[in-house]
Structure 1
Amino acid sequence: MEWDRPDPHTLSVVVETADIDELGHTNNAVYVRWLERCAWQHSTALGLDLVSYRQLDRAMVVLRHEIDYLAAAYLGDELQIATWIVKSDQKLRLVRHFQIRRLSDQTTLLRAESTFVCIALSSGRPKRMPPEFLQGYGAALR
């Protein structure tokens, strides 16, 4: 599969009945859930799971999503969701790009950019990324 960027972290999904809205295609909110799931899986693969977040009293939370819905997904479609960390200020913010493609025809259905900010879990307030975040997320910069 040809992606917008090299070496993505990917997640495979199949569109299920519960994903379909009244218009007969995948509901927009479902795409957001898939992006979140893909980002979490990528973080976990980088050694930064929920247990790590709690131990470090830090988390990366979404500040902004920018999503371009380019084509619809339908019941039974097999999809690949890709993500890359493309930017980090090495302090508070990092940016992920996402791309969703349908396997059957290689159509890109969605492109998105999400900005994340580091917070202290104990207060919910912005807090600098700990060294573990700089190492894990920094190693994934593309």
Structure 2
Amino acid sequence: MNWDLDKPFIVDIEVGAQDIDGLGHANNAVYVSWMERCAWQHSQSLGLDLVEYRRLDRAMAVVRHEIDYLASAYEGERLRIGTWIVESDHKLKMLRRFQLIRAHDASTLLRAQTTFVCIELSSGKPKRMPVEFVEGYGQALHAG
């Protein structure tokens, strides 16, 4: 695979019939759900799961997606989505990049970045990242 950055966190995907829209390819909203799945699995691998979010009364919430849809995905295709945390102010904001690659021809289908803000779950308001977020997400911060 020709990843844009080294050492991505990768999730494998198989495009299912439920992912296909009226135009015969994976719907653009499904790509967003794949990004969410990848980000969430990455967070869990860092020890930041729902139990920890609830215990800390904090979560990382999406405030912006920037997505470039470069090619279509079709039913039965195997894809790999990679993610990297590329920026963090260690206070409130974090930026995560994504790349979606079709396995059989290594074509990049999507490049995206998502801005997250730390929120207090009980109020829904922005709140400073707890030390567990700074350390957990910080260990995954891409050095490039």
**Matches of residues 1-142 of structure 1 in structure 2 within 5 Å?**
1-142=1-142
**What CA distance in whole angstroms lies between the structure 2 residues aligned with 1:121 and 1:63?**
15
Displaced runs of 4+ in structure 1, greater than 3 A?
A: none
Kindly provide the amino acid, as one letter, of the partner of residue 25 in structure 1. Answer: H
**What CA distance in whole angstroms lies between the structure 2 residues aligned with 1:33 and 1:116?**
16
Task: State percent identity of aligned pairs.
Answer: 65
Query: Which segments of 5 or more consecutive residues in structure 1 lack a partner in the other structure?
Result: none
Deviation, structure 1 residue 2: 1.9
Match of 2:42, SS? helix
What per-residue deviation string (whole Å, max 9, x for no partner) do you get for residues 59-111 of structure 1?
00000000000000001110000000000011100000000000000000000
Query: Which segments of 5 or more consecutive residues in structure 2 lack a partner in the other structure?
Result: none
Name the TM-score, length of structure 1 as normaliser. 0.99
Kindly provide the amino acid, as one letter, of the partner of residue 13 in structure 1. Answer: I
**What CA distance in whole angstroms lies between the structure 1 residues aligned with 2:7 and 2:73?**
24
Number of residue pairs matched? 142
Provide the aligned C-alpha RMSD in A.
0.4
**What CA distance in whole angstroms lies between the structure 1 residues aligned with 2:2 and 2:69?**
19
